[in-house]
Structures are given as structure tokens and as C-alpha cells.
Amino acid sequence: MNQTPPPINATKQMKKLMADHFLGLDRAKKQGSPKVAWCTSVGPAELLLAMGFEVYFPENHGALLGATRMATELIPAANAAGYSPDICSYLTSDVGAFLAGVTPLTKAYGIESVPKADVLAFNTNQCRDVQDWFDFYARHWKVPIVGVRTHRGVGEVKDCYVKDLAQQFKDMIPVLEQVSGNKFDIDRLRETVRLSKECTVRWRKVLEAAAQIPAPMTFFDYTIHMAPAVVLRGRQEAVDYYDLLLKEIEERIAAGISAVPGERIRLYWEGMPVWGRLRMLSELMSELKSAIVASTYCNSWIFEAFDEKEPFESMARAYTELFIVRDEDYKTRYIENWIKRFKIDGIIFHDAKTCPNNSNNRYALPQRLSRDLGVATVTINGDLNDLRCFSDEQAKTNIEALVEQILEQAA
Ligand code: SF4
């Protein structure tokens, strides 16, 4: 089928959910109740929800600053305040926006500012930047900050790591009780963990739908439809949303709808999205009849280990099993598995200038995968939010060269 695919109808519902999410946070901030907790994107959301907080995810705000192309102009304000241009550009664009008194939430939802935190909760499983980012706000508002410090470069997820992290989660409780005014209730935690697991199961199915040839959705769709898994996991709304989306995906597969009409090449995206260039890259991929069918990034919100029977231990395990936390051998095997299952022809590695944690081209992973699987790879230089680090022309030339190489190999 070679015509432009119809839009995904579920998007309307997702937009409504996101509007409700941000308006709910704004209301909580104005009323002073429920209390607002800031949480890192792969942080202890289940615990915060169980304690009765409205939960806000600044990385989601960072992505919005990138996608609306506000970030590049705002980063210098954070640099002037002492935050290096070389560190996470989510951090610098978010802090820059705060110092400049602007937010994309104003245009989108009529919200004046991001919700002031009553408490900030981080997990360093992804990087140290999140802690420094939250420290800025904790100092500014003089509010408590709590967090867990996760082991990094992990091969096997050992029981001793799980035990340590489970205890770190428990150690947060007294502060969370004091700020929220609510007593910790294990049954409420079991429920949010159960709902997060339900969300994960569905989100995985959504991602796995792209194993279908042709793929009914691509990376660019996933970067939009991942939002409920990021900001609403632990809540029934996210579960219902993915049921709705899955039903539509099944219909698209049955109707033979291809996200990239005339799909002839299947690619894997390794690294952060370039938020301000998603449209450009999506159009380029369509022109090249190449579908990006899988990515490490969108897979990062699959948390297999959640188990309501052992809420603390399973949270500890789920948040440590993530790709970003693991060693090079694990990462190699992980990508190999997706490459084989999704019948992928090539990999685009995005070397994001300000996020070494999500730039996996730097320790010979492309070379290992190329040698072991015969898969073509290319590295494009760029950034998640700082568009001064990204060249449309260079990215285009490199991706076109990758596609040519794949076509030549197949000829
Ligand atoms: S993982 Fe990268 S993009 Fe995410 S917060 Fe850390 S440095 Fe920033």
C-alpha cells in the first residue's frame, strides 16, 4: 500500500490525557493540595502516587522544550547561572526556561508556570544529572529532596543490589509522609505497582507491533504515544489508553496500513530523539522508504519486573534492569535480540553531545554489532535539545549513505 497512512485516532485521547495531567498539576499547585512531587522519568513514581502526590516529570517538560524548539534559546540562561553547556540539555533548557519565566505549557494549556515542587524524588539509575537538576530546585524553593543512588554498569542484577535499593526506597517514606501528610499504606503501593505492570505489558505490545512487516507505527509515532507510559504509569488511565491504542494498531495491521508507505528498509534508532527535528527526520525516512521500527529509547519504559506481591523489591529490580543501567555485554546482547526479532537492516546511533549516558556509540558497540550481525550502522552527531549541535545536512547525508549501503548489500 503506497498512500499516506491515516492519522492515529487514539492521539486525540492522548492529548486529552496530557491536558488533564498538566491541568491537574496546575490545580494542585494553586490549591496546595494534593502535594506535588517531582520525579525523574525512571524514578519512584509508584511510591509517590501511593503516597497521594500529584507527580510531575521534568524530563517530559525538557522534551517539550526541545520539541517546541524553545530549548536552544533558553540554554544560555542556565549556562550564565553556572550550568555547563556540556551537561544534559534537558537540565539546561529546563533551568533556563525557569530562570526566563517561560514554559511551553502556557501556549499548550494556558498554564503560567511549571508546578512548584513540595518534594523532589530522583533515581540516579539513568545519570547523575537528574540529581543536580533537582538540587537546583530544592535549593531554590527550599524543599526536601530524596532519592535512590542506583548501581551502574550492571551485568547481572544481583540480589544485593535489589536489597540495597529496596531499602533506599523505604528510607524515603518518612520524608514523603511528612510532606504529603499521608501515612504510607502498603496496599496502595501494591496497587500502583500493579497498574504500572499492566501499563508495561501493554506498552511492550504496542512497541512489538512494529515487528510486523510493514510496520504499522514507527519510532516517530512511539515518541508521541509513549507519553502515558512515562507520566501516567501507576494509574488506570494509562492502562485504558494502551488498550485503546492496541485495538487501533490491530485494525491498522489487519488493513495492511504501513507507517512508511512502500517500506523497503527497517532501522533501529539507538540514543535520544532529536526532539526539535523529529518532523524533518520522519519526512526524510519516508522519502527513503525506511522505517525506524525499534529503539532503545522508547523501550526504556518497559518494566518487566514489577510485581505487586513484592512492591519494593520489584521496583528496585525493574528500575535496575533498564538498558541504561547495564554493562556493555548486556547492551550488545539486548540490541542483537531486537535486531533479529524485528528483522532490522541497519542502526542509526545518535551521539547526543550533552547525554553521554544515552550515546552508546562511544565504546565500539556499533563495530561489535556490525561484526557479529553484519548489520550496517551509522553515527549521527546531534543532541536531544541543543540544536546548535545538530546539522540537518550532515544527518541527511549520513542517513542516506546508510540506506545506500543497505540497498547495495541487498542487491
Ligand atoms: S539520561 Fe541524558 S537526557 Fe536523560 S536526564 Fe540524564 S543526561 Fe539528561
Query: CA dist 50 to 174, 197, 251, 303, Å?
Result: 14, 15, 36, 18
Those residues with Cβ within 8 angstroms of residue 73's Cβ, 6 or more apart along the chain or in another chain: none
Q: How far apart (Å, rounded) are the C-alpha atoms in residues 156 and 30?
A: 45
Q: Which numbered atom of ligand 1 lies nearest the CA of 90?
A: 8
How close is the Cα of 355 to the center of ligand 1, in Å? 6
Ligand 1 midpoint to CA 395 (Å): 22
Instruction: Name the one residue in this structure whose C-alpha cell is 535512590.
Output: 148
In single-letter form, the type of residue at position 144 comes to: P
Amino acid at 375: V
Cα 365 to Cα 282: distance, rounded to the nearest angstrom? 25
Q: How far apart are CA 362 and CA 381, in angstroms?
A: 12
> What is the number of other CB atoms lying within 10 angstroms of the CB of residue 87?
19
Give the position, in ligand 1's atom list, of the atom nearest the Cα of 354. 7
Helical packing angle, 278-287 and 392-410, nearest 10°? 30
Which one-letter DSSP state was computed for residue 182?
A: -
Q: Which atom, in ligand 1's list, is nearest to the CA of 87?
A: 7
Q: What is the position in ligand 1's atom list of the atom closest to the CA of 59?
A: 5
Q: Which of 89, 152, 301, 355 to mutate to test the pocket of ligand 1 (most atoms within 8 A of CB)?
A: 355
Q: Ligand 1: distance of its center to the CA of 255 in Å?
A: 38
Question: Which of 84, 127, 135 to mutate for ligand 1's pocket (most ligand atoms within 8 Å of CB)?
Answer: 127
What is the grid cell recorded at 191? 496497587
Q: Give 79-127 as a DSSP string.
A: HHTT--TTS-HHHHHHHHHHHHT--HHHHHH---SPPPPSEEEEETTS-
C-alpha to C-alpha distance for 37 and 55, rounded to whole angstroms:
5
Q: How far is the CA of 384 from the centre of ligand 1 (A)?
A: 9
- The continuous run of DSSP H or E covering 351 comes out as strand 346-352
Say what the pLDDT of residue 108 is: 97
Please report the atom of ligand 1 found closest to the CA of residue 324: 1
Return the closest-CA partner of residue 287 out of 256, 258, 261, 252.
261
Residue 410: predicted pLDDT = 87
Question: Ligand 1: distance of its center to the CA of 1 in Å?
Answer: 39
Q: Whose CA is nearest to atom 5 of ligand 1?
A: 130
Residues 49 and 137: their CA atoms lie apart, in Å, by 21
pLDDT in tens, the chain (411 residues): 457 899 999 999 999 999 999 999 999 999 999 999 999 999 999 999 999 999 999 999 999 999 999 999 999 999 999 999 999 999 999 999 999 999 999 999 999 999 999 999 999 999 999 999 999 999 999 999 999 999 999 999 999 999 999 999 999 999 999 999 999 999 999 999 999 999 999 999 999 999 999 999 999 999 999 999 999 999 999 999 999 999 999 999 999 999 999 999 999 999 999 999 999 999 999 999 999 999 999 999 999 999 999 999 999 999 999 999 999 999 999 999 999 999 999 999 999 999 999 999 999 999 999 999 999 999 999 999 999 999 999 999 999 999 999 999 888
Helix ranges restricted to H, 151-277? 159-171, 173-180, 186-208, 219-225, 227-231, 236-254
User: Probe ligand 1: pick from 57, 91, 358, 362, max atoms within 8 Å of CB?
Assistant: 358
**Amino acid (one-letter) located at 71:** A
296 with 323: CB under 8 angstroms? yes
Reading the block at residue 229, the C-alpha cell is 507510559
pLDDT of 2:
55
CA of 85 to the centre of ligand 1 (A): 13
Look up the pTM and report it. 0.97
Say what the pLDDT of residue 1 is.
45
Centroid of ligand 1 to alpha carbon of 77 (angstroms): 19
Please state, in angstroms and rounded to a whole number, the distance separating the CA atoms of residues 247 and 216.
12
The pLDDT of residue 4 = 87
Atom of ligand 1 nearest to the CA of 91: 8
Gap between the Cα atoms of 39 and 218, Å rounded: 28
Asked, as a colleague might, if the bond just before 34 is cis with ω within 30 of 0, I would say yes
Handedness of CA 139, 353, 340, 245 (dihedral sign): positive
Torsion sign over Cα 183, 58, 267, 205:
positive
For residue 196, how far is its CA from the centre of ligand 1 (angstroms)?
Answer: 22
d(CA 207, CA 364): 27
Instruction: Give me the residues paired with residue 350 across strands.
Output: 380
CA–centroid distance, 407 to ligand 1, in Å, is: 34
**Ligand 1 environment, Cβ below 6 A:** 59, 88, 90, 126-127, 129-130, 272, 355, 357-358, 384
